[in-house]
Amino acid sequence: MKACQYVEIGRPPQVVEVDKPTPGPGEVLLRVTASGACHSDEFIMSLPESRYVYGLPLTLGHEGAGVVAELGEGATGVEIGESVAVYGPWGCGVCHACAQGKENYCRYAAERGIRPPGLGAPGSMAEYMIVDSPRHLVPLGDLDPVATVALTDAGLTPYHAIKPTLPKLLPGTVAVVIGAGGLGHMGVQILKALTAATVIALDPKEPARQLALDVGADHALPSDESSIEQIRSLSGGRGATAVFDFVGIETTTALAARMVHPESDIVVVGVGAGAVPVGFFTLPFEVRVWAPYWGSRSELEEVLELARSGAIHVETETFGLDDAPTVYERMHAGTIRGRGIVVP
């Protein structure tokens, strides 16, 4: 079968021929129907050898959807032919975090070498993929896999970031989304669907600002100093009650810190090397700052329900598997609108 693999540090990914995998005991073989390309793929492919821990060759793709093709011995709970989405942050399934469905924070995944597909285990950018347990599958029902696959990360991650801030996002408040790409354009929609806050997107690229407006942002501004003044005036002088930084570089975390008021939330989702210093003299009082990773299994179900209700959708550009490396070129150039989806 064909797979898009990262083969050599510093070189672009390649489409190669590999053996079709066979599901082991308890595992599920999916015929992949769609695979999203995330900026985190680009991030790991930018790492120097000393910091690269995902194994080579690596079949990319941590946003996956497919049709159940084969069940390994003892694998139950899904049917052959069923259309499913893959919950990506695999954990051990039994520790305290996993027992709550928070496999993204599994206590043992790291030490036991349990790796998400596309981030250690072979991913979804292939004709077939192995999922280690039916527990990591969510039925898609009548949802279109190409339109929904990105919800497994570009939807789930912003949802998980936004959920704890909901009680603060009352009518009259302002929520700011920094970076209106794959995750950010979903963040805008999730905020609009779940809150009465005014949603302001910041992005240096005009097409990304237009995308934010198209999917429901109330305002879209350049990502610079000038936006701070505008955010203050759009919030009656108060500032942003929650900031979701989907870039996470020094300039954006610094910007986030300057637009908040006492008791605001700053959520750093992007994996740039930025940071928000917390201390008595650094931020308005009681600002909460955190950096979440992905989301829980039950939250993925909630995100899929939001899509099913029509409240959110992913803006997609589709590519064949042979063109998978092009998605990353386009992502690097910043010319993808929403999410690039590979359809084998």
Footprint on this chain of ligand NAD (rule: CB under 6 A): 38-40, 43, 153, 157, 178-184, 202-205, 208, 223, 246-248, 251-252, 269-272, 292-294, 331, 334
Residue 43 contact, options ligand NAD, Zn ion, none, Cβ 5-8 Å cut-off depending on partner type: ligand NAD
What is the C-alpha R_g of the chain?
A: 20
Burial code (b: 16+ CB inside 10 Å, e: under 16) for 289-322 equals: bebbebbbbebbbebbebbeeeebbbbbeebebe
Instruction: State how far the Cα of 241 lies from the Cα of 236, in Å rounded to an integer.
Output: 12
Note whether 119 binds Zn ion by CB under 5 A: no
Q: Select the span of 113-121, 152-160, 194-202, 237-245 touching Zn ion (CB under 5 A).
A: 152-160
Point out the residue whose Cβ comes nearest to Zn ion: 38
Nearer to ligand NAD, 71 or 149 (CB): 149
Instruction: State how far the Cα of 72 lies from the Cα of 25, in Å rounded to an integer.
Output: 5
**Residue 91 CB, nearest approach to Zn ion (Å):** 16
Q: Are 125 and 3 in contact (CB under 8 A)?
A: yes
Q: What is the 3-state secondary structure (H, E, C) of 94-122?
A: CCHHHHCCCHHHCCCHHHHCCCCECCCEC
SS3 217: coil
Note whether 88 binds Zn ion by CB under 5 A: no
Q: Which of 20, 28, 18 is nearest to 81 (CA)?
A: 28
Point out the residue whose Cβ comes nearest to ligand NAD: 181
Q: Which of residues 186-245 bind Zn ion (CB under 5 A)?
A: none
**Residue 44 CB, nearest approach to ligand NAD (Å):** 9
Note whether 38 binds Zn ion by CB under 5 A: yes
**267 beta partners:** 244, 290
Note whether 132 binds Zn ion by CB under 5 A: no
Nearer to ligand NAD, 68 or 336 (CB): 336
**Residue 36 CB, nearest approach to ligand NAD (Å):** 9
Note whether 328 binds Zn ion by CB under 5 A: no
Task: Choose which of 153, 245, 265, 299 interacts with Zn ion (CB under 5 A).
Answer: 153
Nearer to Zn ion, 38 or 98 (CB): 38
Nearer to ligand NAD, 129 or 256 (CB): 256
Nearer to ligand NAD, 89 or 134 (CB): 89
Evaluate the omega torsion of the peptide bond into residue 57 and state whether it is cis, within 30 degrees of 0.
Answer: yes
Instruction: State how far the Cα of 300 lies from the Cα of 304, in Å rounded to an integer.
Output: 6
Query: Could you tell me whether strands 260-268 and 288-290 are parallel, antiparallel, or unpaired per DSSP bridges?
Result: parallel
Q: Which of 263, 284, 293 is nearest to 105 (CA)?
A: 293
Nearer to Zn ion, 36 or 239 (CB): 36
**Residue 118 CB, nearest approach to ligand NAD (Å):** 11
Nearer to ligand NAD, 28 or 119 (CB): 119
Structure tokens at 316: 């997609």
**Residue 236 CB, nearest approach to ligand NAD (Å):** 24
Residues that bind Zn ion (CB under 5 A): 38, 40, 153
